[in-house]
Amino acid sequence: MSTSTASSKKVAIVTGASRGIGKAIALRLGRDGFAVTVNYSSNQAEAQAVAAEIEASGSKAVAIQADVSKTEDVAKLFDQTEQAFGGVDVLVNNAGIMKIGTIADASDDIFDRTFAINVRGTFNTLKQAARRIRAGGRIINFSTSSTPLSLPGYGIYCASKAAVEVLGSILAKELRGRQITVNTVAPGPVGTELFFDGKTPEQVDRLAKLSPFERLGEPEDIARVIAFLAGPEGGWINGQTIRANGGMV
């Protein structure tokens, strides 16, 4: 892959890329030679810092604000990426929220927000990507390894991610003939701000020990999986959900 000009690079959009797993993915794709759109919803300074770090590594990057739950924002995200880099080759649907609580106690607001960001947000980006990603491109969604475990307290979150898995597997078939892969990565517990929010130290320790490795995943563990799927060696993986969880399930 040539690195001489932005137009000769492959281009990746990473949603929710200002911190956590999204940041690690954006930095890794930048190191791999992609021009990267660092999407953020509200953390402008952090997103710009990620873009600056990618540029310092020798690749091109731009930070673009968009709320993925809003159709017009997502159209703008793709418009501005195309204006900056000439097209889109890879979409990584990392943006999401995770609110834990029993179904009986869950509020309507938590249900609506979770599905608006995790499901509607993925739908919005998939719709744009299906129309605009260049032939031979990659679409990578995010689910969770909590879904097959059916852990108490994760009902709404896992339901939203189950919907994401189905959207991805069907879109892979709908893009027949364009050599575009669509896959879903389903991490286990990863030590990020999103994961730690609302959990006691005891809960964190219990979840960390679900894996035979007896540790939490790290953002870079997931970024390596994304880099494989986004790169040339991942071209024969399509329509799959990959459970990157250290063997917890």
- Residues serving a catalytic function are 157
Radius of gyration of the chain (CA): 17
The candidate with the shortest Cα–Cα distance to 92, out of 148, 42, 137, 145, is: 137
The candidate with the shortest Cα–Cα distance to 25, out of 184, 183, 225, 180, is: 225
CA distances from 128 to 13, 50, 72, 213 (A): 12, 24, 11, 39
Q: Residues 239, 182: contact at Cβ < 8 Å?
A: yes
Is residue 63 helix, strand or coil? strand
CA distances from 4 to 35, 60, 85, 87 (A): 11, 10, 13, 16
63 vs 67: CA distance, rounded Å: 13
